[in-house]
Amino acid sequence: MTRDAGWDGCRQAAAALRRLGAAPDRLETLLTAEVGHTESEVVYEERSLELHHYEPDERRHETPILVVYALVNRPYILDLQPDRSVVRRLTEAGFDVYLLDWGEPTRLDASLDMGDYAGRYLDNVLDATCEHSGVEAVHLLGYCMGGTMALMHTALDGERVRTLGLMATPVAFEGTGGILEQWATYFDPEVAVETLGNMPAELLSAEFSMMNPVDQYVTKYVQLYENLEDDAFVENFARMERWIWDGVDVAGAAFAEFVGEVYKDNNLVAGEYALDGQPVRLADIEVPLLTVVGEYDHIVPADSSRPVVDLVGSEDTRLIEFPRGHIGISVSGKAHDQLWPDVCEWYAARGVADTGGSEVGDGTAAPAGVAAVETIDGVGQTYAGRLREAGIETVTELADYDTQLLAAVTDAPEGRVRRWLERAGKHGQ
């Protein structure tokens, strides 16, 4: 799908207004509204993905926020207009912001699965963010499907994740996933991917619109006509229409895996989901967790997101139920007045250590010898418990083992264990 196709909704609206005799300047406004207003720099690229960095005027927090968007649609919904930009709210609060734009897969990318996106690519993006920002851990914020991928990654390798934030994130599907779950029940993603390769953006956009057909195809155009004299309304309408129809194709294998295993089989909640053969256990997530759900979200109903707070192993969890829909939590005026200042405060309170004023996750060494294993960044209570069951209680004892043996003992990814050992060496210096 080309970017020009994203204007289809605006063109349809313009054609309707033209037939109704709307003034030429209204049509021009509808077709020329801009999006993505905040200046950014691309600091990392891999295949189609780009990592954008937004620098605050005054950096007041060492830990940056990495925003992971979904594979569907484009992430400029988070920077739709200056006064309703999540990116700007975060930078105004003094955070460095990194935004992951997955881009659009080619036909050659149809075999990319969730292990590629939530595993390998996100792993590389975390590395790039930490290196560019000069930190060892970030605040990770995932939106919709991006939140599910952030959840998966953190469960497997969360040591570079200081906190995890989820926005309108689909997790549980036991009659809780709304219309999309009902569709998935009768939908065979394998057949669709075998037929189409990558899932076409036009098809996905149409499906989302049909979830609320009266509003999407009738009501909003009536409202547009009734507000033609309101410049701000027409511009906001144009921006939203552009985003709704400016979708991207989704890599076939990733689409089939997500719909089949997450939506249809509910494997993530059941503890039966694996990423590249590694079991994803939500109980292994011990970092502070913030979950934001839209009370009126018909795409990811609140009941699909709420259960995550009870599924993770985190002792520090917070659930915010906000009276808006799936998109409203990021673009509504009320969200920017009430929700996002609250979110910024939550992140700010969890970015600074209790002592010394330095950020948690900065690699500060604990005393050597008698230091307990959980003093090493990335170990946490769950892994510390598994180490103790194997008779490994101190940093010194841990440093005596090799990567493969520790990975087997703790059921942890070798990459994570390797970093434990590197830090154990620093503790002993």
**Residues 35-46: tens digit of each pLDDT:** 777 999 999 999
pLDDT at residue 2 in the model = 41
Distance CA(380)–CA(361), nearest Å, equals: 12
> Per-residue pLDDT averaged across 84-91, rounded?
96
- pLDDT band for 11, please (50, 70, 90 cuts): low
364 neighbors 358 (Cβ within 8 angstroms): yes
DSSP per residue, 362-412: S-PPPPSSS-BGGGSTT-HHHHHHHHHHTT--BHHHHHTS-HHHHHHHHT-
- pLDDT band for 108, please (50, 70, 90 cuts): very high
Q: Is residue 22 scored above 50 in pLDDT? A: yes
Q: Is residue 10 scored above 60 in pLDDT? A: no
Q: What is each CA distance from 133 to 39, 185, 195, 274, 281, in whole angstroms?
A: 17, 43, 43, 31, 29
pLDDT at residue 161 in the model = 95
- pLDDT band for 404, please (50, 70, 90 cuts): confident
| Selected residue with higher pLDDT from 169 and 19 | 169
Q: Is residue 252 scored above 80 in pLDDT? A: yes
| Selected residue with higher pLDDT from 19 and 178 | 178
Distance CA(423)–CA(429), nearest Å, equals: 10
> Per-residue pLDDT averaged across 313-334, rounded?
95
> Per-residue pLDDT averaged across 150-173, rounded?
95
- pLDDT band for 274, please (50, 70, 90 cuts): very high
Quote the CATH superfamily of domain 41-182+249-349.
Alpha/Beta hydrolase fold, catalytic domain (3.40.50.1820)
Q: Is residue 199 scored above 90 in pLDDT? A: no
Distance CA(122)–CA(237), nearest Å, equals: 33
Q: Mind listing the pLDDT tens digit for each residue in 117-143?
A: 999 999 999 999 999 999 999 999 999
Buried b / exposed e along 265-285 (16+ C-beta atoms within 10 A): ebbbbeeebbbeebebbbebb
pLDDT at residue 28 in the model = 60
pLDDT at residue 288 in the model = 96
Q: Is residue 173 scored above 70 in pLDDT? A: yes
Distance CA(292)–CA(311), nearest Å, equals: 16
Lowest mean pLDDT of 7-21, 100-114, 383-397, name the range: 7-21
pLDDT at residue 356 in the model = 32
Share of the chain above pLDDT 70, in %: 82
> Per-residue pLDDT averaged across 207-222, rounded?
65
Tokens, residue 410: 């703790």
Q: Is residue 313 scored above 50 in pLDDT? A: yes
39 neighbors 93 (Cβ within 8 angstroms): no
The overall average pLDDT reported for the chain is 83
Q: Is residue 364 scored above 50 in pLDDT? A: no
172 neighbors 269 (Cβ within 8 angstroms): yes
* Host H or E run for residue 92: helix 86-92
Catalytically active residues are 144, 297, 326
